[in-house]
Amino acid sequence: MSTEQPGPAGVLVLAATPIGQVDDAPPRLAEELAKADVVAAEDTRRLKRLTTELGVSVSGRVVSYFEGNEQARTPALLDELLGGSRVVLVTDAGMPSVSDPGYRLVAAAVEHDVHVTAVPGPSAVLTALAVSGLPVDRFCFEGFLPRKAGERSRRLAALAREERTMVFFEAPHRTEAALTAMRDAFGEGRAAAVCRELTKTHEEVRRGLLGDLVAWAADGVRGEVTIVVSGTTPVAAIDADPASLRAAVAELEQDGTSRKEAIVEVAKVAGVPKREVYDAVHKPIEGGRG
C-alpha cells in the first residue's frame, strides 16, 4: 500500500454543490471553480446557473461529464490530470461519485497516483439521515433501487435483516412502488422517513411506519426524494423449545417483520429447521403446553 502524495501531475477536486439553497455552497466552491483548468460538470447548464448565482467566472475549459459519456470521457480527463491540470468535478447536487458521476475518474486518478481531494459540503444522504429521527449511530447507503419490480424485491429481501439504518435515493414517480416493496420486504410496522426537496422551499419530511407511508404516497410524490428506513431489531439467542420459538417469531412480527421472514430468521438463530419453527407457530399446542 502506498500513501498518496501530490506529485508533478495535476489535482482532481471533487466539489460538493448545494442540494437546495445556493447559500449552502461551501466557501471554497467558488474559489475552486474560478481557478480550475478544467471543470467537468454533470450538466453544463446547471453549472452556468450556479456560477451566476455565486458570482464567479470560470476561466478554465468546461466539459460535460454525465452518466451517458462518463466512461468515454474519463481517459481524456485523466490525460488532463497527468499533464498537470487542476480538474474540478461537480454534479447537479451534493458530492460527486455518490450515486452520481465521478467514481470512474476517481479510480483512474488513484490508479495513476494523481492527487485526489474534495471540497466537502451538502449531502442529501447525511441531511436526510440527520432529520429522519431514526438511529444514526450505524447506517448504510443503498443508493437507487433497481427499476424492475423483481430485481427491486430481491434487493430489499437481501436487506430484510439489516440492522443498520438504511438510506435510499428514489425518483418521485417510483416512490410509491419503492415504499410498497419496502413494506412487503421489511413489514408494514418498520419505521421510516420520506425526505422530499431537502433544504428547498417546499421541504417536507414525512415520518411514520412503512404501511402508513405507502398510503400517503398513493396521492403522488413530487421533487427529489430520499428515503430513510430503520434497521431490524437484533435477534438474541433463542432456545429450541416450541414456546421460545413462538415467542421469538411474535417479537419479530411486532417489529414489522413478515411471519415468513420471521420464521426463517428464528430458525437460523436457533439452529433448527424452518419446519420446526413453522410447526411451533401454526400447530395447536397439545395439552395446553409447548
The domains found in the chain, sorted by start residue, are 11-122 (3.40.1010.10), 135-229 (3.30.950.10), 242-288 (no CATH)
Sign of CA dihedral 146, 150, 156, 158: negative
CA distance 275 to 290: 16
In sequence order, the β-bridge partners of residue 133 are none
pLDDT tens track for 125-144: 999 999 999 999 999 999 99
Q: How far apart are the first and last CA of the chain?
A: 58
Q: Is residue 133 within 8 Å of residue 26, measured between CB atoms?
A: no
Kindly report, residue by residue over 219-265, the tens digit of the pLDDT.
999 999 999 999 987 766 777 888 888 988 888 888 777 888 888 88
The residue ranges of the chain whose pLDDT is under 70 are 1-8, 235-236, 284-290
